[in-house]
Amino acid sequence: MSTSPAELSALRERILTLKKDLNAIILAHNYQRPEVQDIADITGDSLELSRAAARTDFKVIVFCGVHFMAESASILSPDKTVLLPEIDAGCPMADMVTAEGPRTTKRDLFQELYGITFQFPDTYTIKDIKRQHPGVPVVAYVNTSAAVKAESDICCTSSNVVKVVESLKEDTVICIPDRNLSAFAAKRTKKKVIAWDGFCNVHHVQLSMNDVVQARAGYPKALLVVHPECPPEIQDKADHITSTSGMLTFCRESKEKEFIIGTEEGLLHRLRKENPGKTFHILSRKMVCPNMKRTHLSSVLAAMEKMQYVIKVPDEIRIPAKRALDRMLEIA
């Protein structure tokens, strides 16, 4: 059931009042629903939100995003209370690599529906790949659990992966969990990249070359801008490849007026709001992340009223995970 404008306005008022009472800051990822983005103090990509969480003085961080993002906020700001409004908002790609136990992704389903095979067995963990490649550093995309970060040498986001890989002294690196981000990095460095075989449902599974052909035919004047989580053959057809906030900068600074956007559709809200004279098309209507869309204004309000769901990473994981995140924040 949709919420009426009057109800939305009442929700907003109550959230703003509670925000003051709790001394809270609201962070929202660029893929969140428009009304959630609009109530946030900071909207950004993974790197910007990590930085914001690390430096905030507010007592409570309400993280409108997915689980690994709230975990990163807890790792970086352990003295703050971090709330994730929807506890089931996870990231299937992050679940494709584990520190202990089997991954939860359904390999048979991916094989059957999309013809995607996993190179590694379900029980293969980050510890196994490290054991197989002794002395090779692990670069963990922030889209990983805190436990996986704790086993990694350094983190990266889609906006700094090349810089991070280049910062390491070793000639070979392991990149987890996204095969496409790893391919993106491998193309831009002389180092050997050993890639995990994970992928994003939204950027990998839901997209095909046919979407590119159709969009190019439909909007011949538009520039194609895609996220590095898209498959390499789609990256090769793009005019620019960058993170979500990288797309905001690129489209703002570009002299061109029309863009096809190859990332989750939530980004179009900010693109349109910040560039009223420009036109944006989504590369495929299927580019919707159901986990990012779980959070509504009503969940933000409930989170603040009930102080739920508190995301707290225990110190034995938090401290080594923080080392990997700090190392990234220092160089990026």
Question: Which residues of this chain interact with ligand SF4, rule CB under 6 A?
Answer: 66, 91-93, 143, 200-202, 229, 264, 289, 291-292
Residue 182 has phi, psi (to 5 degrees) of -65, -40
* CB nearer ligand SF4, residue 48 or residue 264: 264
**Cα–Cα distance, 222 to 179 (Å, whole number):** 28
Minimum CB separation from ligand 13P for residue 123, in Å? 26
Minimum CB separation from ligand 13P for residue 21, in Å? 30
**Cα–Cα distance, 69 to 220 (Å, whole number):** 36
Q: Tell me if 158 contacts ligand 13P by CB under 6 A.
A: yes
| CB environment 26-61: b (16+ within 10 A), e (fewer) | bbbbbbbbeebbbbbeebbbbbbbbebbbebebebb
Binds ligand 13P (CB under 6 A): choice among 145, 157, 160, 284: 157
Minimum CB separation from ligand SF4 for residue 143, in Å? 5
Minimum CB separation from ligand 13P for residue 69, in Å? 8
Residues 91, 291 contacting (CB under 8 angstroms): yes
Residue 207 has phi, psi (to 5 degrees) of -105, 145
Choose among ligand 13P, ligand SF4, none what residue 158 binds, the Cβ cut-off being 5 to 8 Å by kind.
Answer: ligand 13P
Binding mask 182-211 for ligand 13P (x = CB under 6 A): ------------------x-----------
Binds ligand 13P (CB under 6 A): choice among 27, 30, 204, 301: 30
Q: Is 155 left (phi over 0), alpha (psi -120 to 50) or beta?
A: beta
**Cα–Cα distance, 117 to 107 (Å, whole number):** 7
Minimum CB separation from ligand 13P for residue 235, in Å? 14
Q: Tell me if 143 contacts ligand 13P by CB under 6 A.
A: yes
Distances (CA, A) of 155 to 59, 89, 152, 185, 210: 25, 21, 7, 14, 33
Residue ranges binding ligand 13P (CB under 6 A): 30, 45-46, 143, 157-158, 200, 229, 243-244
